Homo-oligomer: A and B are copies of this chain.
Amino acid sequence: MKLNKNDINNLDYRFKIRLINSITGPKSACLIGTKSKINGTNLAVFNSITHIGSNPPLVGVIFRPNEKVRRDTYENIIQEKFYTINHINSKINERAHWTSAKFDKHISEFQSCNLIEEYIEEFYAPYVKECDVKIGLKFKEKIDIKSNNTYLIIGEIINIYVDSLFIEEDGTLNLESSDSLSVGGLNTYYKLQMLTKFPYSRIERLPIF
């Protein structure tokens, strides 16, 4: 399949959305948990979680303000400052994905999708009990993306909860052990199978290819 800019523009709209959403490759499949003083808790599946930096530890998420379900999460983060990112695993894959349905504002996806709110050490936002990798974040920066009127929200990691069995000696989280899923496009989920782990690429050790 060869597509230039015109071809892409002229694709059937739904076909285009699915192609472009998947063409950038594997994405992280996570649930973002938030709480609003007025509307209660909210839980939503997100696939635009991006590592921004390690020192300080920063994570980004892209928000499209036009999409109803995601606006709740966005508003809660801006208003309340605290939120959680929780890795989707295969046991909760279906329930997690269904948080993307358009529930009413005052309905909590935790309840509708049968996932348990977990509050740890007085952190304001709810974690997802069924998830084995949980991150607590504090809002840090909101960035306007002018090209398509979306936002990049940056948060600082202030809490991490993960079973030590999943963490390798050097600090790396083993995503196969943690059963963390990847998502392709909007609705296809993949399990991960570790293929290779490379040492730091020192130029002196360059193999002969």
Q: Which residues, 16 to 39 on A, are CB-close (under 8 Å) to B?
A: 16-30
Whether the pair A175, B154 counts as a contact (CB closer than 8 A) is: no
> Are A182 and B171 CB-contacts (below 8 A) given A26-B26, A49-B25?
no
For the complex, give the distance between the alpha carbons of A56 and B157 in Å. Answer: 31
Q: Which residues, 146 to 194 on A, are CB-close (under 8 Å) to B?
A: 146-148, 150, 152, 154, 156-164, 167, 170-176, 180-182, 184-194
For the complex, give the distance between the alpha carbons of A162 and B61 in Å. Answer: 27
Whether the pair B173, A19 counts as a contact (CB closer than 8 A) is: yes
Chain A positions within 8 Å of B, measured between CB atoms, are 1-5, 8, 11-30, 47-60, 62, 64, 85, 87, 90, 93-95, 97-98, 100-103, 112-114, 121, 133, 135, 140-141, 143, 145-148, 150, 152, 154, 156-164, 167, 170-176, 180-182, 184-203, 206-207, 209
Nearest CB in chain B: distance from A197 CB, A: 5
Nearest CB in chain B: distance from A151 CB, A: 11
Whether the pair A154, B147 counts as a contact (CB closer than 8 A) is: yes
Nearest CB in chain B: distance from A146 CB, A: 6
Whether the pair A160, B23 counts as a contact (CB closer than 8 A) is: yes
For the complex, give the distance between the alpha carbons of A93 and B133 in Å. Answer: 27
Whether the pair B49, A17 counts as a contact (CB closer than 8 A) is: no
Residue of B nearest to A45 (CB): B201
Whether the pair A145, B94 counts as a contact (CB closer than 8 A) is: no
> Are A54 and B16 CB-contacts (below 8 A) given A101-B203, A197-B188, A201-B101?
yes
Whether the pair B16, A55 counts as a contact (CB closer than 8 A) is: yes
Besides the contacts A27-B51, A113-B209, A190-B195, what 8 more A-B pairs have beta carbons closer than 8 Å?
Answer: A18-B171, A24-B59, A26-B175, A27-B28, A51-B62, A60-B145, A93-B195, A176-B190
